[in-house]
Structure 1
């Protein structure tokens, strides 16, 4: 891969934008290494940030790192560069997820450039949404965003929504009976700690507790009491979509992560609020049931909830100095 040298300060700015990406339980499972002598930026998994029970295959980790890679590409185009990437470039080094070379002048990609305006505005929203329908042309644009990254986005019919909500309810019960999974979740959710942290999900981002019925929004509080937390009624028939890929290899997870972030950024530009649910997909026996058997998509990679709602707060991010090494 031929690369041009980029000033380390510029690369640091790219990484600062990259780490605005979502990740499972906001563990932020990425590390970056930049080599000015070659102009290559490496994206690596951080083995200290795995979820051994909740994500034993590192599937969610790959999705999060793929989302960070998409943000990196957006940041590079915005700054007048093209980020050419190679996924899983070294079979002998499984922690190395991608190598990125920066090329100038960039190939024209106005759609990618336009996403930059949404990069810092995108936040997971665990509040109730309104009942206002999302226009079909907006949904079609989101489908196109997924296709451009090699994935498919399928919006669910009302009866499919009911089925998925029941699967999420099943996942909640599976989780309650799995203390090792709850331990992973409790480690990364900051309920009542009073500590300022740079990762995990703080209690202010939990959203209200659901009042009755089934819902897609995960209650990270579990049985823990959150002082002053409200209860709310969520939309009865949410606008749900399944992001999927034809295959289920590590490289497919990285493509799915890029597609996921591209959809989320486009949705943010379109004025939509979004939240993610991997709840049912974390259990193999439930994940297969999420898939629409009439769809060409073989494997569900993420459930998305979209709609119109209040502005959501940002969750914390680790400083660039913690995730980027200049070597």
Structure 2
């Protein structure tokens, strides 16, 4: 079977753009090159303050790569994937080459169907606990993509994480440049990128266990707690190179889609990763090898809004073009 064509590229990119990204910045591009599909980082959409090193951009592009893999698998054109294939092209995230054709598996079809439903859920979750078998599925999803997921059990672990997360959030709130950049990515509901101004989280109150981004100034009724005991997971990988961050992005997306397929909702907590001292404190607190890449808040809740996306055509790079 020959290389990928324009139709394959469109299917892969249409799925890829539904990946999550910090502040919904959508820092990815897709290109057809000699019968392969390439996923590239769009550095023009990199957050210069919040993500000066490109960690979040690579995580997002890794997640987009995983979505593209699923899109190709469900049309019986699964890809052999090489991450960070060229050290001389640091913005080249992944190269997808056609592998032997085969029918899609049931898990691949289920995860692909979840792409269109997955979104960040910032509203409070219901008190229903996440069953043990679903937790195992989440752990297996991370492990299958060469990552680990640490689910925090008990209030001692949650309280420890809460202190680290709130400390990091306070550092970021004091950074005027950081806050100014975040405001530029907080848009009206009609925008094709950024976080909608009606994002469904309310302002963090002093008693809240976990911090929330200040995307709006809405407050909840006086005296109401946000969530008493959410399920929090920390996603990590063995090292912290460019390659590892892309790897973590793929694992992140498989975990998120697995959660969606199981009826769960999720939101991402990146403040403890964005502040180096907090990240190191979190790494030590987990007492395991490797580097945390993101924290996830998981639970059951009412369906929320899908975040907007730019048209897929804006994410396609002409065949002969090269990113600056």
Structure 2 gap segments, 5+ residues each: 320-324
Match 2:122 to one of 118, 121, 126: 126
The TM-score normalised by the length of structure 2 is: 0.92
1:115 maps to 2:111: yes
1:181 maps to 2:205: no
Q: Secondary structure at the match of 2:156?
A: helix
Match 2:274 to one of 268, 282, 303: 282
Quick one: distance in 1 between partners of 2:259 and 2:190? 30
Q: Secondary structure at the match of 1:296?
A: coil
- Greater mean alpha carbon deviation, residues 162-171 or residues 102-111: 102-111
1:318 maps to 2:315: no
Q: Match of 1:21?
A: 19
The TM-score normalised by the length of structure 1 is: 0.91
Q: Match of 1:213?
A: 207
1:5 maps to 2:9: no
Q: CA deviation at 1:230?
A: 4.6
Q: Is residue 217–residue 275 contact of structure 1 (8 Å, CA) maintained in 2?
A: no
- Greater mean alpha carbon deviation, residues 73-82 or residues 6-15: 6-15
Q: Match of 1:58?
A: 54
Q: Deviations over 1:55-114 (max 9, x none)?
A: 121101111000000001111111111121111111111111111112341386543332
Match 2:163 to one of 166, 170, 181: 166
CA 1:15–1:60: 2 relative to 1, 3 Å? same
Quick one: distance in 1 between partners of 2:206 and 2:288? 35
Quick one: distance in 1 between partners of 2:104 and 2:83? 22
Quick one: distance in 1 between partners of 2:106 and 2:318? 30
Q: CA deviation at 1:123?
A: 0.6
Quick one: distance in 2 between partners of 1:195 and 1:69? 27
Match 2:249 to one of 241, 244, 257: 257
Q: CA deviation at 1:205?
A: 2.1
1:201 maps to 2:199: no
Q: Is residue 246–residue 297 contact of structure 1 (8 Å, CA) maintained in 2?
A: yes
